[in-house]
Amino acid sequence: MRNISDVIEQYLKQVLKESQVNAIEIKRQDIAQRFECVPSQINYVINTRFTVEKGYLVESKRGGGGYIRIRRVVLHEKQDVLSSLMDVIHEHPRLNEQLVENVLIRLVEEQMMNEQEAQLINHLLSDEALNLQVDDRTYIRRHQLLALMRVLRYRNGG
Amino acid sequence: MRNISDVIEQYLKQVLKESQVNAIEIKRQDIAQRFECVPSQINYVINTRFTVEKGYLVESKRGGGGYIRIRRVVLHEKQDVLSSLMDVIHEHPRLNEQLVENVLIRLVEEQMMNEQEAQLINHLLSDEALNLQVDDRTYIRRHQLLALMRVLRYRNGG
DNA sequence: CACCCTCTGACCATCTTTGACTTTTGACTA
DNA sequence: TAGTCAAAAGTCAAAGATGGTCAGAGGGTG
């Protein structure tokens, strides 16, 4: 293999495959030492090879006893629905309660979340909860709806 | 286990679980000696792992016959969980990701919501989604967590 | 040659561990 | 009773241990 990133990628995927719980926990420094590279190389490998779109979730903790955990997840099959909704969210200059509700209803119709979850989020994004200026509400709603889309990418089967 | 704080945390939780009265009384120096650490390490563990929002109450006494008592809060009425968490949310001047997570985990433990719902909300309230100044994040988190409590109260027949 | 990956290292953020110093409490003593 | 002292526990900031970020250098390929 020509570059160290590919080697590290293969190694991590091999360990992951053998793990049986679809998750591994590594110490960045250990891996860096094993492959004789700088620690930040591990971040590069993770950022380029173990992304959500490729079906991986990565969590980490710093400080004493720190770690990096990589999990294999199954992507939701309706990625197209999510991207079209993301387009909608991006294109609307104002995001009011009605638009939020429409998006949530659509997600429920597509069975990407259930009604209870939709209702919960609808409350959190209501005018009442977001006691703010209109512009700020739009800002928050946009970011939170996009965050929602990102989670839904891999839910159900992750 | 990776670090001594986690080990001590697990030990204390184990003893607590076996206690049957949901309370234990320890001598700081004894625990420190058992795990070969400085006494103030015990304070660190308690301050980071046995917090109010996680459902623990800690009392202590200094001087001769001193002790540290840790109690697991037992709430029979669902309403109490919400009220106590609302207090926590009101009293914290800063609401960071860690606190939000602790609150959500607690809600799941107390069966006020399920893990998927907690996961969704956790993402909506993450630093990433709330790409704002610290004070603004706190503001949003406070209002949305309180909105969540209101929904849960209603949902659980309060 | 241009462009896109890769690689590197300086600097940053976060969590844990440690120890010096402080406060509180109860027993003993004058 | 008041004062003193030793035995706890508490506080806090510095040091230590990890992982994260980012910009620039390096290198391969069309």
Indicate the average pLDDT of chain B: 95
- The 3-class SS string of chain A reads CCCHHHHHHHHHHHHHHHHCCCEEEECHHHHHHHCCCCHHHHHHHHHHHCCCCCCEEEEEECCCCCEEEEEECCCCCCHHHHHHHHHHHHHCCCCCHHHHHHHHHHHHHCCCCCHHHHHHHHHHCCCCCCCCCHHHHHHHHHHHHHHHHHHHCCCCCC
Tens digits of residue pLDDT in B19-45: 999 999 999 999 999 999 999 999 999
Which CATH number do you get for residue B59?
3.30.56.130
- For the cut 70, the answer to whether the pLDDT of residue A110 exceeds it is yes
- Tell me: do A85 and A134 sit in the same domain: yes
Name residues whose C-beta falls within 8 Å of residue B42's C-beta, 6 or more positions apart in sequence: B8, B26, B28, B31, B32, B68
Domain boundary, last residue among A29, A51, A72: A72
Closest to A124 (Cβ–Cβ): which among B2, B116, B147? B147
Residue B35 has a pLDDT of 98
Indicate the average pLDDT of chain A: 96
- pTM for this prediction: 0.94
- Tell me: do B61 and B124 sit in the same domain: no
What total number of domains does chain A contain?
Answer: 2
Which CATH number do you get for residue A92?
1.10.1200
Q: Positive or negative, the Cα torsion across A112, A115, A118, A120?
A: negative
**pLDDT tier, B156 (very low <50, low <70, confident <90, very high otherwise):** confident
- For the cut 50, the answer to whether the pLDDT of residue A158 exceeds it is no
- Tell me: do B84 and B58 sit in the same domain: no
- For the cut 70, the answer to whether the pLDDT of residue A58 exceeds it is yes
Closest to A65 (Cβ–Cβ): which among B2, B117, B144? B2
Query: Of A16, A37, A29, which is closest to residue A60 (Cα–Cα)?
Result: A29
- For the cut 90, the answer to whether the pLDDT of residue A1 exceeds it is no
Domain of residue B114: give its range. Answer: 78-155
Tell me the mean pLDDT in the region B141-158.
91
Instruction: Sort out which chain A residues have CB atoms less than 8 A from B146's CB and list them.
Output: 129
- Tell me: do B82 and B62 sit in the same domain: no
Residue B59 has a pLDDT of 98
